[in-house]
């Protein structure tokens, strides 16, 4: 879907990705754009952003423009029925991360908070069911709505540290976006808790996590939530070597467009510790 957004503004134009990266630089779109998600995760179908990995720098390049907003988004949960369980789990946690990160962002907004909380509740209610039985259309519908709400959160508020620290797992070690986010989600939730304790409690409640005891309890409960969906929650098991944590932390730390809105100001060392906690 992100590629289609880029194609829709670049087709028949003599422009490079570098010409349109960043906010508001895409030329006027002259073709129609329809977006149809086939997973319940990114919510990109209702967004104005396209994210692409630059193969030379391995950085994620974000282009953002109202010109890349679809004319029509068709969200049909039937299209997600054949998504395998592992992809259902990872993309579902990506949708969850969109809601949680927007909800706890420094630029959170009450209007978006409503969508975020409903998205989190839907994930708590339906993700395990969709993983267990892909043909459970009620669960697939709930997750399609959750992903859509997550997408709504991305436009005006966007993600924070969870996505920033996940990007190097994708760009440097080729982990799928949803999985990378799922692996880092519990650790970012925990490190942010002291800055946003009440909102974190609301997240845990909406997700249906049992009462947790302190930050470590929260981390354990959210790791258990992801593990219960069938995910191995250790980044080392996906071939991410500890020797690269320093480079990954350096790369993530430069993603100011996300990190500047995180409720806690994370240093490179903090990010390195997050990777260790996830290993």
| Site for Fe ion, rule CB under 5 A | 94
**Which residue in the shown chain puts its C-beta closest to Fe ion?**
94
3-state DSSP assignment of residue 27: coil
CB of 148 to Fe ion, least distance (A): 13
CB of 95 to Fe ion, least distance (A): 8
Q: Which is nearer to Fe ion, 94 or 251 (CB)?
A: 94
CB of 120 to Fe ion, least distance (A): 15
Report d(CA 28, CA 10) in Å as an integer.
Answer: 9
Q: Which is nearer to Fe ion, 140 or 177 (CB)?
A: 177
Tell me how far CA of residue 125 lies from CA of 129, 146, 189, 207, 267, in angstroms: 8, 10, 19, 7, 35
Q: Which is nearer to Fe ion, 42 or 141 (CB)?
A: 42
User: In terms of C-beta density within 10 A (0-12 exposed, 13-18 middle, 19 or more buried), how is residue 155 classed?
Assistant: middle
CB of 266 to Fe ion, least distance (A): 18
CB of 61 to Fe ion, least distance (A): 15
The structure tokens listed for 129 are 């069911």
Neighbouring C-alpha atoms within 13 Å toward the C-beta of 174: 3
Q: Which residues pair with 61 in a beta bridge?
A: 52
Q: Which is nearer to Fe ion, 2 or 246 (CB)?
A: 2
Q: Is 214 left (phi over 0), alpha (psi -120 to 50) or beta?
A: left
The structure tokens listed for 251 are 């790369």
Q: Which is nearer to Fe ion, 147 or 204 (CB)?
A: 147
């Amino acid at each position: 879907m992100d590629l289609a957004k880029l194609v829709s503004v670049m087709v028949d134009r003599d422009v490079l990705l570098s010409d349109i990266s960043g906010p508001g630089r895409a030329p006027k779109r002259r073709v129609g754009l329809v977006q149809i998600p086939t997973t319940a995760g990114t919510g990109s179908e209702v967004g104005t952003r396209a994210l692409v990995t630059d193969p030379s720098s391995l950085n994620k390049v974000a282009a953002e423009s109202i010109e890349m907003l679809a004319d029509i988004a068709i969200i049909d949960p039937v299209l997600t029925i054949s998504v395998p369980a592992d992809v259902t789990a990872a993309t579902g946690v990506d949708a969850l991360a969109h809601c949680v990160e927007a909800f706890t962002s420094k630029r959170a907004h009450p209007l978006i908070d409503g969508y975020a909380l409903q998205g989190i509740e839907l994930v708590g209610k339906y993700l395990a069911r969709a993983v267990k039985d892909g043909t459970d259309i009620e669960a697939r519908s709930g997750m399609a709505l959750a992903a859509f709400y997550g997408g709504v959160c991305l436009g005006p508020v966007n993600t924070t540290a969870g996505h920033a620290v996940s990007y190097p797992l994708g760009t440097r070690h080729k982990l799928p976006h949803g999985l990378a986010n799922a692996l880092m989600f519990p650790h970012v939730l925990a490190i942010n808790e002291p800055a946003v304790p009440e909102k974190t409690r609301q997240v845990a409640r909406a997700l249906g996590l049992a009462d947790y005891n302190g930050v470590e309890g929260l981390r354990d409960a959210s790791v258990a939530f992801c593990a219960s969906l069938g995910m191995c929650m250790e980044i080392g098991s996906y071939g991410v070597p500890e020797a690269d944590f320093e480079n990954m932390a350096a790369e993530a730390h430069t993603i100011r467009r996300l990190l500047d809105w995180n409720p806690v100001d994370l240093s490179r060392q903090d990010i390195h510790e997050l990777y260790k906690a996830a290993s």
